[in-house]
Structure 1
Amino acid sequence: MQRAVAHRFGWIALLCTGLLGAADAAGGPRPGPPDPGIDALLQRYDGQVPGAAVLVLHDGQPVFRRGYGLAVVEDGTPVTAQTNFRLASVSKQFTATAILLLAQEGALSLDDRVKRWLPSLPAAADTITLRHLLSHTSGLLDYEDLMPRDATAQVRDLDVLHLLERQDRTLFVPGSRYRYSNSGYALLALVVGQASGQDFATFLRARIFQPLGMAHAVAHQDGVDDVAARAYGYSEIDGRWQRTDQSPTSAVLGDGGIYASLDDLARWDAALYDPRLLGIASLRQAFAPATRTNEPDAPFYGFGWRLNGEAHWHSGESIGFRSVILRYPAHRLSVIILTNRDGPEPYPLALQIAQRWLDTLQ
C-alpha cells in the first residue's frame, strides 16, 4: 500500500508540474498524441460541431488525452483538456463521497434516518436512511414527475425537498427495491449542508476539489460562481446545432450540477486508489455492491457508482451534455469522455476505447 500511495502522489506531482496542463508556444494546451483508431471513433465530434474531450489513464499515466470539436459553437472556441463540462449524473459520485467523508469523521452515520437531517419530510419517509438514498433504494418519488409540465423556472435542491414534503407516499417500501433516484441525491446534498454547517458547493470546494488540486471544478450556481473555460450544451434540431444548455432541473446540484475538466478528473481518478481523501474502508464502501439493479450493463450499484464485474462506471445525461467515466481498477485503467451535445451516449465509445488496452493486459 505504501508503494501505491507513493506512486499516486508522484502522479499528482507530475500533474502539478504541468504534464497535463502544459502549454505550447501559442499559449494553448499541448494536444495529446494522435491515435487513428480513437480519432475514427470520435469523428462525429470533430470539426465545427459540439465536441468531446477524451482521456485514457493507464497506471497513473495519461496515455491518450485530446479534445475534439467546439466548446462554444457560436464563437468557435475549441474543446481542450481544460474545458469544463457539466458532468450531469457523474456528479453523484462526488455527492456520495461528501457523505462518506462526513461519515468517516463521525458527523453522521449512513444508517441515520434522513428525517434526522431533513425533518420536514412526510411520515412516508420515516424509515428511509442515508444508505437508501446513496443506493437508490429509498422509493422516493422522482422530483421531475412532481414539477408542473409547463415549468420554466429552475428548481434547486431545496425546492426538491419542498416538492417531496407534499408527497406522503413512496413508490415501494424503502430498502426493498432499486429505482434510480435523482430525488435521493438532491436530498443528500442538503444533508451534507446540515451535517457540515457549509452549503454543498462550499463543502465540495473545500473538502474535495481544493485538496485534490481540481482547480476549476465547481458545483455551479448561476449568479454565485463562474465556470472557467466553460462548454455550453447543444442539441441538433432540424439539422442544426442549437444551444440547449439549461433546463428547469439544471440548477439541482446533488444529482448532477458539477462542472469539471479532463485534467480535474485525472486528479479525481488518482484519489480513488489511495486514502488521501477517503480512507480505505470508505473507498471499499463506495465500490461495494450495495444493491442489485435491473440494469444489464450494471447489475449492481454502489454509492455513486454502477458496478459490472471489474468495471466501475457512471454516465451523466442532461440537456445538452453526455458524459461517462469508466474505470477498471484491477488494471489501473480509466476512460473519461465528456461531451456537450444531447447524443449519442458515450458509454459504448468508452467500452470500445478501454478494450484496446484491456486486450493487451489480459
Structure 2
Amino acid sequence: MFISRNGYFPGGGGAIMELARCRGIAAAIVLFVTGTALASETPTQTQRVQKALDTWLAERSPVEGVTGIAAYVSLGAPGPNIEAFAGKTGRADDDPPVDQNTLFAMGSTSKSFAAAVILKLEAQGLLSIDDPVGKWLPQYPAWGSVSIRRLLDMTSGIPNYSETEFISRSWVEQPKRDLTAEELIAAAYPDGSNNLPVTEGYHYSNTNYILAGLIAAKATGKPYQELVRELVIQPHGLHSTFYSPGTYPPEVIARLAHGYFENTACAEYQPPDCKESWNKPMIGRDVREDSTSWAQAAGGAISNARDVTRWMRAVFEGRVVPPKQQAEWMSMVSTKTGEPITEISEEHPQGFALGLVQGMIPGGPAWFYQGMTLGYRTLYVWYEKDGILIAVQTNSQPNDEANKLSEAAEAIHAAIKAQ
C-alpha cells in the first residue's frame, strides 16, 4: 500500500477533502522557463503546460485532498526546460504558494538511489549483484540464499514490512519515532510469531531495499546515508535532494510541502474481509513533521521536480554507471510472472528492472515510476522516443482509485507535443 507504487496507473503492477480546505489554490501560481527557444514558441508552450497543471489541480483537489502541484519538463540540453507550479503548500490560509524552493517526498522513485549505489559498488569490485544475502547479512539465515539482484527486481519472495500491523501502529501511535533498519526488517522476518506469506515470482516488497541498503553499508563500512550523498547527490548536482534515515532537520522540513494522508485502504496483511484499515486514525493528518525512518532505502528521500528529472535523465542516458552495470540496471522481469523479459509486450505489459519500471501508457511504452508515501506522491515519465522527461509532485496520498496524478503527466506531455 505504501511506497509501493511501481505502476503508472493506480493499482498497476505493485499497486501505485474538501474544496473548502483547499481554498485559494487558484491564486497561487508561479512559472519559470529556462533554456533557449524561439520567443514566439516558448510562451505558447509554457502557457499550455501551465494550463494543464491548473486544470488538473482544480479538478483533483476536492477528490485527492491536494493543495498544490509542481512539475518539471526536461527537454534535454540546451533546453528549453519548463518549470511550473500551481496551488499552495498546505491548507492553512497563510501557507505560501508552491514554488521552486518547495520539496516533496520522493517515495519509491528514490529506490533508484539504492540500485545506483549497489551497481556503483559492483563496478568498483566491492560486491556482485549475484552475491547472496547471507554473504553480507548472515543474521538473516531465512533469506541467506537470496541474491542482491532478486532483492532489487522484487523476486526475492521476502514479505513487505510496510504492510504489517507493527508499522501501522508506529505511524498511528508514534509518528515521530525514528525506527532503525533492523526494526523494519524484524517486522517481516519469520521468527515463529508471524505468518507472513512467502511469495513466488514478482512481489513488491520494501524489505528488499532495506536489506540492499544494509548490504551496501556492510560492503563499504559507510552508512547508507553517506553513500547516497557521495555516489548520487554530489556527483549529479542534486542541490535540492536530501536523504536521511530518520527525522529530517528543520531547514529541510521548512521547505517541505505539508503532506496529507487520505488513504482508507486496508493493508496487504490485514484479513481479506477487512472492513477498516489499521491506518484509519491517520486520515486527514498532516505528516510533514513525522519521521520518515520507516522508509529509508526503500523510499525515504526528499527532492523537487527539477532534481528528479535531472537524476532520472542521467540514469536513462547511461551517465551514472558503466555499460555493464547499465545493462544490469535495465534488465527486467515480468510483473506477471517474475521471469526475465527483454521487452514488454501484450503478454507481459509491464516489466520491473532494478528500481525502475517500464510499461504501456497512452502513447506507447515508457519508463516511469510513481512513488507514494503517507502524504506525498512523485511521478516521473521518460518519453524516450520524444526525448522528454516529465516529473510531477503533489502533497497527498489518496486511495488508488482516486489517484490520478498520471493524468497530470499525460496532460503536460500533450501540451508539449501540441502544435
Q: 1:41 aligns with which of 52, 56, 64?
A: 56
* TM-score relative to the length of structure 2: 0.69
Whether the 8 Å contact between 1:274 and 1:280 is mirrored in structure 2 is no
Match of 1:348 in 2: 407
Partner residue in 1 for 2:7: none
- 1:79 aligns with 98
Please show how residues 1-362 of structure 1 align to structure 2 within 5 Å: 33-35=46-48, 36-44=51-59, 50-60=67-77, 61-74=79-92, 75-122=94-141, 124-148=142-166, 150-151=169-170, 152-153=173-174, 154=177, 155-167=179-191, 171-172=197-198, 176-223=200-247, 225=249, 226-227=251-252, 229-235=255-261, 242-245=285-288, 251-293=294-336, 299-308=350-359, 310-343=365-398, 344-357=403-416
Unpaired runs of 5+ in structure 2?
1-31, 36-44, 264-282, 339-345
SS in 2 for 1:78: coil
Taking the aligned partners of 1:20 and 1:205, their CA distance within structure 2 comes to 26
Deviation of 1:96 (Å) = 1.1
Pairwise CA distance, 1:284: 2.6
C-alpha distance in structure 1 between counterparts of 2:34 and 2:182, whole Å: 37
> What CA deviation, in whole Å up to 9, does each residue of 1:234-259 have, x standing for no partner?
2469xx96513366765321111000
Aligned-residue offset at 1:222? 4.2
The answer to whether the Cα contact below 8 Å between 1:325 and 1:336 also exists between their aligned partners in 2 is yes
Across the aligned residues of Structure 1 and Structure 2, the Cα RMSD in angstroms comes to 3.3
Q: Distance in 1 between matches of 2:220 and 2:196?
A: 28
Q: What is the CA distance between 1:205 and its match in structure 2? A: 0.9
Question: How far did 1:276 drift?
Answer: 3.7
Contact 1:235–1:244 (8 Å) recurs in 2:
yes
In the alignment, the residues of structure 2 paired with residue 78 and residue 172 of structure 1 have an alpha-carbon distance, to the nearest angstrom, of: 46
Offset at residue 59 of structure 1 (A): 3.3
- For residues 406 and 327 of structure 2, the distance between their equivalents in structure 1, rounded to whole angstroms, comes to 24
Q: TM-score, normalised by structure 1?
A: 0.79
Task: Note if contact 2:71-2:393 (Cα within 8 Å) is conserved in structure 1.
Answer: yes
- 3-state secondary structure, aligned to 2:138: coil
* Percent of pairs with identical residues: 24
Contact 1:125 1:170 in 2 (8 A): no
Amino acid at match of 2:354: F
Q: List runs of 5+ in structure 1 lacking aligned partners.
A: 1-17, 22-31
**Cα gap change, 1:259/1:142 in structure 2, threshold over 3 Å: closer, same or farther?**
same
Whether contact under 8 Å (1:143, 1:163) holds in the other structure is yes
Q: Does 1 or 2 have the higher relative contact order (CA < 8 Å, sep 6+)?
A: 2
Task: State how many pairs are aligned.
Answer: 328
SS across alignment from 2:226? helix
Residues 335, 128 of structure 1: alpha-carbon distance in 2 compared, 3 angstrom cutoff: same
Contact 2:357 2:369 in 1 (8 A): yes
